[in-house]
Structure 1
């Protein structure tokens, strides 16, 4: 009988590990993974290189064509529609602005001001006592708003939200300076280096806040022990 129980327990543990692995893989796929980071950087890099080599119109065509090719490839691999078309839409809008103004640096202008908007929104959410890091994370994981019942959980998410706000603010400050200096090549480099790499640091802080919050909520009985 003990042998049977042990075998069943081992089977359950293996099943849990397999399920957990699938969940982690799914989350990684949704984030785009390493390939997603490369894909996000390629249109901007192509735009800068092509602009230096052949001028603005060629750079616009090259970046949009590359983004379209990436979208088709991602759809062929049956990735979710949102990130596939989201990347293409973003590149198309940036290229359209540059085409309309006739200035290569305006390819980056929407991203620059979106960073400022992000910095303001994340900072304001802390003062409003609804830190966006906690709101977005717990909504995405189906935990609702129970975390707001614990002041330390709110503090953890306040910290994570302010880190994300600082990342957005840094993006805006650096890229706006380069924009004013008309440094198109440096703008492309800054966009790449301050994109996923910095966001990855922010997400690590959000993950820390989530683990710390869950631990407190489970101890207080506000979150079932089985929820993660």
Structure 2
């Protein structure tokens, strides 16, 4: 299967992908499969939207940045300027925003002191959100987590777990090893098809599939 461009005129996780997944898995087109497909589709479309709207290494993304670069950018371009703005909007500086003639002629501009209170409140909320984001990014950086790898694993794990949840008797097998094509089998083909539709890119995913299967089996033991 070739790689898709995001500009291609097709519906992600539409009928074509649904039929591909059903045929690969060899499942009947019944209510169980429809329920499974609905959940898988909704989850993968959320991931696809996240890929398109956040920095990562997939081509659907507008750009990629390392965790360190993102932290630095947020600090320099948001947190530090917000700190300066908050100081500028302090009560003792409010007269700077009022012109005496406007007050005399009862012309109310958009930035009189009462309006600045709402702006200050918004800045506080913005700073809190960005600080939370920086904390999350720093935690991932400390754990040596790379965003693109994390997304890749998330897609693979969810694809396998959703299949196991709706079809618990489906064998969780990586298939067989082929010297030319490496890992081949029903489960890898299914995961790769879902991954292609989610990211627009075709990858072998042998490592993520192996790791995800181990984690799914661990989760399975915990729930039994």
Which band: TM-score by shorter chain?
under 0.3
Whichever of the two has the greater Rg, that structure is: 2
Q: TM-score, normalised by structure 2?
A: 0.27
Which structure is richer in relative contact order (CA contacts within 8 A, separation 6 or more)? 2
Higher helix proportion (structure 1 or 2): 1
